Amino acid sequence: MKTPYVIFGSLVLLVVFAIPALADPGMIYGKILTVDNEELEGFIRWDRNEGAWDDIIDGNKDLDRHRKSRYSKYRDRDDRRKKIEVFGVTVYSEDDHGWSWSTSSAQSGMRVGHLKSIMPDSDDGAVFVLKSGEEVYLGEGSTDIGDDIREIIIDDKDEGTLELYWDDIERIDFESSGREECPFGERLYGTVVTRRGDEFTGFVCWDMDEIFSTDVLDGREKRRKREIEFAEIEKIERRSSSSATVTLKNGKVVRLDDSNDVDSGNRGVVISDFNLGRVVVEWEDLDYVVFSKAPRPQEYDDFDGGRRLEGTVYTEDGEKYTGKIRWDDDEEYTWELLDGNSHGVEFDIEFGLIASIEKTSFSSSRVTLKDGRTFKLRDSNDIDGDNKGIFIIDNDEDEVIVDWEDFEKVEFSH
């Protein structure tokens, strides 16, 4: 016969195992240590338009800090390049495509979910520590980093909502929330259609600003000012360069103007796509967006912090090289972004989601994603004649450089 203590213990175990683990709502969560030694913990809204693990923090990567002298012995290309040096420092260089300024930084960015920590170390820069242990220094290249950041809001579990400035922060450590509901509201999700007919579906950021259902769309209806919560909106259609038609979930249709939310002052509609990265549609290219119910969000544990890019590079002469890859002489990890443009739509594609890149002309490339989608992109040194070269390091640590004019395609193996 079981004692009351055994029965009670069994019931406790049943209750414990019957309680489901709290789902990660996909929103940024972590602990912020301030310069005053105060520790805050809660959901974080970063620079207004980043609130989820799949959102991207932009900046300029310091190549000198990141790379140090790792690749210095491979830097001399061939006799086709001429240089101007001042006190031993290259300030101007010539390659097959003309003259260009040398630089020690490159445009970069990463999805927040890849990060373990951020440690500000100046008014316009910070050390970003990825889950992999890799440290990357990003400097000011947008309002995401430094004193120009618009706001950092944390919903502290004890003190409620607090707004912080860049110089308030000593360190941020990210982690899964353990809390199912985010106080900021639900993320906006839907399908954006361009005037050309292209469709992009994902989480939506409106005017580089509004990302939650509790955020407000501003405008003027005739002589009356309107503020409409996105939770009430079913569709927004660009009517002209200065107005939009808004269809509410109750069926009412409203025409709004006189606001950068609904005219050419709009800074762009951003779509965050799990299997791509980020797409930005400018106001003049927008046809409409239809909002819908969001799927399961990407959780913090869905991000691995990145790995080295690996694959096989093919040349137009029929040669091929397999190994670790450094693209355009600066992107070498799966978390990094490939930039490009297609018919006015801006793409930031995470390298870890790319299956192959094929040169289609000196000024464009075809990018194929792992999910089978293809995009012909141009207007970026990542995929045109301004590419600084594809570097392949084989198993013997020997490095080969394939110049853009010799490059045919790359197939990634990650």
Q: How far is CA 351 from the centre of its chain?
A: 11
pLDDT for the residue numbered 88: 42
Among the listed residues 192, 184, 190, 241, the one whose alpha carbon sits nearest the alpha carbon of residue 214: 184
Calpha distance 391→243 (Å, rounded):
48
Both structure tokens of 240: 């002209």
Average pLDDT, the chain: 88
Query: How many angstroms separate the Cα of 115 from the Cα of each of 27, 91, 175?
Result: 13, 33, 9
Average pLDDT value for residue range 125-130: 96
Given a cut of 80, whether residue 95 has pLDDT beyond it is: no
Calpha distance 35→37 (Å, rounded):
5
**15: enclosing H helix or E strand:** helix 4-18
pLDDT for the residue numbered 65: 67
**Cβ-contact 293, 352 below 8 angstroms:** no
Given a cut of 80, whether residue 52 has pLDDT beyond it is: yes
Low-confidence winner among 55-64, 319-328, 385-394 (lowest mean pLDDT):
55-64
Q: Does residue 107 sit in helix, strand or coil?
A: strand
pLDDT band for 91, please (50, 70, 90 cuts): very low
Query: How many angstroms separate the Cα of 46 from the Cα of each of 67, 118, 222, 294?
Result: 28, 12, 34, 21
DSSP letter string, 214-280: TSEEEEEETTEEEEEEGGGEEEEEEEETTEEEEEETTS-EEEEESSTTSSTT---EEEEETTTEEEE
Residues whose CB is less than 8 angstroms from the CB of residue 367 and which lie 6 or more positions away in sequence, other chains included: 338, 340, 347, 349, 354, 356, 357, 374, 375, 376, 377, 383
pLDDT for the residue numbered 2: 53
Both structure tokens of 164: 């912080």
29: buried, middle or exposed (CB in 10 Å: 19+, 13-18, 0-12)?
buried
Matching residue, tokens 């994603």: 369
pLDDT band for 181, please (50, 70, 90 cuts): confident
pLDDT band for 346, please (50, 70, 90 cuts): very high
Among the listed residues 289, 250, 8, 307, the one whose alpha carbon sits nearest the alpha carbon of residue 133: 307
pLDDT for the residue numbered 140: 76
Q: Is 283 left (phi over 0), alpha (psi -120 to 50) or beta?
A: alpha
Among the listed residues 290, 299, 281, the one whose alpha carbon sits nearest the alpha carbon of residue 246: 290
Q: What is the C-alpha radius of gyration for the chain, rounded to an integer number of angstroms?
A: 24
